[in-house]
Structure 1
Amino acid sequence: MNAIETHGLKKQFGKIVAVNDLNLSVEEGKIYGFLGPNGAGKSTTISMLMGFTKPNGGSAKVLGYDIITQHYEIRKLTGYLPERPAFYENMTGADNMQYFGKLIGAEDLEQRIPELLAQVGLEGRGDDRVKGYSHGMRQRLGIAIALLGNPKLLILDEPTTGLDPQGSHDIREIIRKLKKDNVTIFLSSHILHEVQEISDVVGIIKAGHMLVQTPIENFLRSSKGTLAAFEISSPMIDDRFVETARKVKGVESASILDGRLHLTMDEPAVAEDVNAALVGAGFRVREIKEIVPTLEDAFLKVIGEKKEG
């Protein structure tokens, strides 16, 4: 079963279409990176999934429940960390957890609160007032509150924005541990290297439309995200070397950079044909190394292609 599934989901504010015909599929137990430029419709989508905003069209289910008629059931089973979580500043972290836990009907709060504070790295700080918390501590507290109801699904909206490297690392580790506990993570973020590091699947929307939805490794290696790129080292790189490689079927570009031949090609298998062609022409090939693209490279390319189209 999918933890989240939408079909033709649409939301319009006056004449502005924020989400348009969105088809989203999030498999249970996966970390799903939900990406898009500013104004793409990410926050509006999350708002509809949580039942805060009603769609104008289409349908969606979260954990098998309809987002319009069964949003109460969804909220009982879903933890949610908004981009800017709000707390009662003069209350302690533990008291905030007690308050929000009672609101959602969470059980065993006396035992659960200290366990979660320890899990998110706030052990020993639960009795401090929230007004004295750093930004990173607030994010940790927000995640702890989102986990109070033992959720099957956790929706995180920009969980590491504004955090220092250590804080961001700690949040990623928390997310990884939750995945091991079979919690589905729906992660909206603009910090792409972090999404690349922890996500199983990526979905990219622009202007409310889904552009790409696929396992992240497939996306990074596919022509939709980027061509396959390789770097070839040889003691005898010259113009004839470059021309020999360029003539191989499937090679899109070939150029010399820092004394190495850089190639882009339709698929990784073309590298074997390039090697055979170079050796056959009498050249000595020292090393062929694939250049693994970043999520940022792939994201910018697919967004740019859509803009040009």
Structure 2
Amino acid sequence: MAAIEVDGLRKEYGDVAALDGLDLTVEAGELYGLLGPNGSGKTTTIEILTGQRTPTAGEARVLGTDPVTEPIEVRRSIGILPEREDPPSFLTPREYLEFVGDVRSIPDIDDRIAEWADVLDFRGILDTMSSDLSEGERQRVMLAQVFIHEPDLAFIDEPLVNLDPLMQSEVKATLREYCADGNTLFLSTHFVEVAEQLCTEVGIIADGRLRTQRDPATMDDGLLSAYETEVAREVSPQ
């Protein structure tokens, strides 16, 4: 069964179409990357798939559920990390993750917090006020909240933002392991190298439409060349 199915998705903001008939399919177990320039529709796609926005037209299924008619059910089943999302400044990472545990009814939350603090190397700041954390430390805490309830599907907007090279390597390994266990990851990025190094399937989006969707390893001229070609069509005469 496909983890995500999108058919003819359109989202208009006044006279502007952020999505213009988007079609895509993500199979269970894939590490899927939606690659495109700023303003291409990546964030809007994630917001619709996670029940945060209503499309103007089209349909979507997330783990077999419609995120428009049943947004709460979808959000219970998935992990989400929007771009530039931070833990509340007035809580410590431990307090924030305990709150996540309460909201998601995680019975062994203390053990999960300890596990993810080790995986993402923030055990030493668990009791530091989030307002005093670096951007990279806050990103690691937010990545922990994505996976702490062991979802079958996770959505992450720019997963490696603010992370140093060593932590980027650790996070990449963690994301690969998550999918190797049979889970599905949908990430968005405008960095070609992130999609090429990390993803098993990449969709290139430009001007609100999916231009191509392929395994980057099968692209004869490489993902960068395909990206340059497809994005160039955005500004070419139709």
| TM-score after normalising by structure 1 | 0.73
2:11–2:56 contact (8 Å) kept in structure 1: yes
SS of 1:69's equivalent in the other structure is coil
- Counterpart residue number, 1:47: 47
Match runs of 1:15-26 below 5 Å? 15-26=15-26
For residues 212 and 28 of structure 1, what CA distance do their matches in structure 2 show?
Answer: 19
2:180 aligned partner: 180
Q: Distance in 2 between matches of 1:209 and 1:85?
A: 26
Which of these two proteins has the greater Rg computed from alpha carbons? Answer: 1
Match for residue 74 of structure 2? Answer: 74
Within-5 A mapping of 1:256-271: none
Question: Is the partner of 2:21 in helix, strand or coil?
Answer: strand
Q: Which has the higher contact order (CA 8 A, sep 6+)?
A: 2
Runs of at least 5 residues in structure 1 that lack an aligned partner in the other structure: 227-292
Separation in 2, partners of 1:202, 1:134: 31
Aligned pairs, number: 237
Note the residue ranges of structure 2 that are not aligned, 5 or more in a row.
Answer: none
- Where does residue 168 of structure 1 map in the other structure? 168
Q: How far is the alpha carbon of 1:74 from its aligned partner?
A: 1.1
* Aligned-pair CA distance for 1:112: 1.6
SS at match of 1:124: helix
Matches of 1:44 and 1:178, distance apart in 2: 24
Deviations 1:131-178 (A, max 9, x none): 222221111111111112211011110111233222322221221121
The 2-side partners of 1:166 and 1:296 are apart by 24
Q: Is the 8 A contact 2:19 2:44 kept in 1?
A: yes
Q: Quick one: structure 1 residues 75 and 132, their matched pair in 2 at CA, closer, same or farther if it must change by over 3 Å? A: same
CA RMSD of aligned residues (A): 1.5
Q: Hey, what's the Cα distance between the residues in 1 that align with 2:149 and 2:163? A: 26
The question of whether the paired residues in 2 share the 8 Å contact of 1:35 and 1:42 is answered with: yes
Separation (CA, whole Å) in 2 of partners of 1:15 and 1:101: 41
* Percent of residue pairs identical: 34
Matching of residues 173-212 of structure 1 within 5 Å = 173-212=173-212
Aligned equivalent of 1:297: 225
The answer (yes or no) to whether the contact 2:7–2:59 under 8 Å persists in 1 is yes
Given that 2:8 and 2:23 are in contact with CA atoms closer than 8 Å, whether structure 1 keeps it comes out as yes
**1:281 paired residue number:** none
Whether 1:158 aligns to 2:151 is no
Deviation at 1:125, TM superposition (A): 2.5
Report matched runs for 1:57-68 at 5 Å: 57-68=57-68
Letter in 2 for 1:303: V
**Counterparts in 2 of 1:24 and 1:107: CA distance versus 1, 3 Å:** farther
TM-score by length of 2: 0.94
Q: Which residue of 2 aligns with 1:229?
A: none
SS at match of 2:106: coil
Question: What's the CA shift for 1:104?
Answer: 2.9
Cα shift at 1:107:
3.1
